[in-house]
Structure 1
Amino acid sequence: MGDGPAARARPPRPPAPGAAHRGAVGRHPPLADRAAQPAADPAHHRPAHRPGPATGPGPGGVARPAPTVKIFAIGDLHLPGRSEYHAWMRPYGWAAHYQQIAARWRQTIAPQDLVIVCGDTTAAPTTAAAVPDLQWLDRMPGMKLLTPGNHDGWLNHATRTRLTATLADTPTIQATHHGARIISHQHQRILIGAVIGPPPTSGPPKALARARRALEHLDADLSDLASMDPHLRIVASHYPPCGPDQAPTELSELLEAHRIDLCVYGHLHGRGQHAAGPHGTHRGVRYLLCSSDHLRFTPALLHDTTTTTHWSPAP
């Protein structure tokens, strides 16, 4: 995998100005204000930057339209983490899958767009080992919000301080363990929440307690942000929030209680497993499986801020 993400590190660069949204770690300006970042050839270590679309007055004082911002989701990038891709992913057709992801990402994502990554971004066990993969992802167009997955050891065990330092040189990336925030653009307020999944029914006590705390933090954030009356409410979970029979879980009940419009999730791979999660709309919540192989490695469009487009899975 000599030309993969783990092999293509680049020199550090200073972080872009701006503050992180609530609950997230990382540095970049708000979505509507960030400069566009062109897609980079994977052989280049450091892409050139150019200004994004102008939104102020144009010639003759005529206002230019604000750039369209679209929100996408994809899960389970499974970047190699300084090693060859997982051999156990081969049966799912994942040989050199990051090359497919890169090509289709560049075809789909504009510099001003936001991509929610629903867990399992990289197999790296530590933040230091994750740096090459994060730098590779940073060179892809668009903003990225990384949420936790069961293989994200680098994220799940990182302190906030260490995570902030790790993401300082990847200004298009934020990461969060759990919680929610509001993103505003063109007078639309979009709520985005994140959690690894519903608390398991059994397991080590510490793991159970950690999963329950994450769900409680998400619940608290959703309650706090409800007064902002968001136009669209999205929650990203790595594990399926419930089974295909839609039997209630703590997470699915929380989504219903907070009137979440859309829940995206990943974790399931292969045709035999894709049916193991919820699909369609149940009790007011739309569920969309976004694992990479299910989407044919193409991010799924969730929302277009200039239209009424919602939840358009990749072809």
Structure 2
Amino acid sequence: MIYSISDLHLDYTENKSMNIFGDNWKDHNKKIFNNWQNIINNNDYVLIAGDISWQIRMEEAYIDLIQIDKLPGKKIMIKGNHDFWWDSISKLRNLKLKTISFIQNDSIDINDFSICGTRAWLDKEDSDFKKNDLKIFERELIRLKLSLESCKRNKIICMLHYPPFNKDGNTNEFADLMSKYKVDTCIYGHLHSDGLKMVVEGSIGGVNYICTSCDYIDFKPILIKEIL
């Protein structure tokens, strides 16, 4: 089985509270770990679409990553906007975590599926989008294209952290690129609290969109695909 959950926002120091996003975030670490243990088996895969740890340095995030590494299943991660600890891909892979893989400009094959993705960025129509954001937006589009082009399977699951929609719920360039490459399913996160009103799901342009933000899916990994 292929499951997904994003925006874990782990913090082993317990200094960073997520309660500003609602009372349901109280003890969210325990909720995630308990639900994970009850749902995921060792043969399952879990796709994590960014915002994994609040830590700043990789050495600190490693403590949170170890907690994930010990959970059942095989995990595949992309970077979120709060993952400041995310260093070069070579350094991440040199951590030699037993059950965690990282995607950056590439993809991973699981049976009939290729898993790809990138962080993406704020939509251009977002009120917080500034002139300096354009460079990041375009760079993320290039990273998505590289990741898509690396896919070897006909069925593609793409992970984005940012939703590929504008303020009106219409698709943007990231969604256009996924449609061009005939992506089967796109999972995304980033949205919390009142932002969950902006969730868009279902089939658009041939792509099935699923939001996997922790508070949107009640802190439980959700089934994305069954695999043989």
Q: How high is the TM-score relative to the length of structure 1?
A: 0.66
Which one of the candidate residues 288, 296, 308 is aligned to 2:218? Answer: 296
Tell me if 1:214 matches 2:145: no
Deviation at 1:160, TM superposition (A): 2.8
| SS state at 2:48 partner | strand
Which one of the candidate residues 150, 162, 169 is aligned to 2:91? Answer: 162
Deviation at 1:247, TM superposition (A): 2.2
Amino acid corresponding to residue 118 of structure 2 in structure 1: V
Corresponding residue of 1:266: 189
Q: Which of 83-92 and 192-201 deviates more?
A: 83-92
Which one of the candidate residues 41, 44, 50 is aligned to 1:110? Answer: 41
- Measured against aligned partners, the alpha-carbon deviations of 1:203-245 in whole angstroms (never above 9, x if no partner) come to 364x5434423321321342343xx442x21111111111474
Show structure 2 runs of 5+ residues with no match: none
Tell me if 1:179 matches 2:179: no
Deviation at 1:174, TM superposition (A): 1.3
- The structure with the largest alpha-carbon Rg is 1
Distance change >3 Å, CA 128–CA 204, structure 1 → 2: farther
Show structure 1 runs of 5+ residues with no match: 1-69, 307-315
Equivalent pair of 2:109/2:153 in contact (CA under 8 Å): no
Distance in 2 between residues matched to 1:119 and 1:242, nearest whole Å? 17
- Measured against aligned partners, the alpha-carbon deviations of 1:134-183 in whole angstroms (never above 9, x if no partner) come to 1111111011111111111011xx12332233x22x21111233433322
Corresponding residue of 1:47: none
- Measured against aligned partners, the alpha-carbon deviations of 1:73-103 in whole angstroms (never above 9, x if no partner) come to 1011010153424255452421111111111
Tell me if 1:133 matches 2:133: no
| SS state at 1:275 partner | helix
Distance change >3 Å, CA 283–CA 241, structure 1 → 2: same
Equivalent pair of 1:192/1:236 in contact (CA under 8 Å): yes
How many residues get paired? 224
Amino acid corresponding to residue 100 of structure 2 in structure 1: I
Distance in 2 between residues matched to 1:87 and 1:299, nearest whole Å? 19
> Greater RCO between the two (CA within 8 Å, min separation 6)?
2
> Share of identical aligned residues, percent?
28
Distance in 2 between residues matched to 1:196 and 1:87, nearest whole Å? 21
Distance change >3 Å, CA 117–CA 224, structure 1 → 2: closer
Which one of the candidate residues 149, 158, 164 is aligned to 1:241? Answer: 164
Deviation at 1:261, TM superposition (A): 1.2
Equivalent pair of 1:180/1:218 in contact (CA under 8 Å): no
Equivalent pair of 2:121/2:140 in contact (CA under 8 Å): no
- Measured against aligned partners, the alpha-carbon deviations of 1:109-129 in whole angstroms (never above 9, x if no partner) come to 000111011111000111011
Equivalent pair of 2:106/2:150 in contact (CA under 8 Å): no
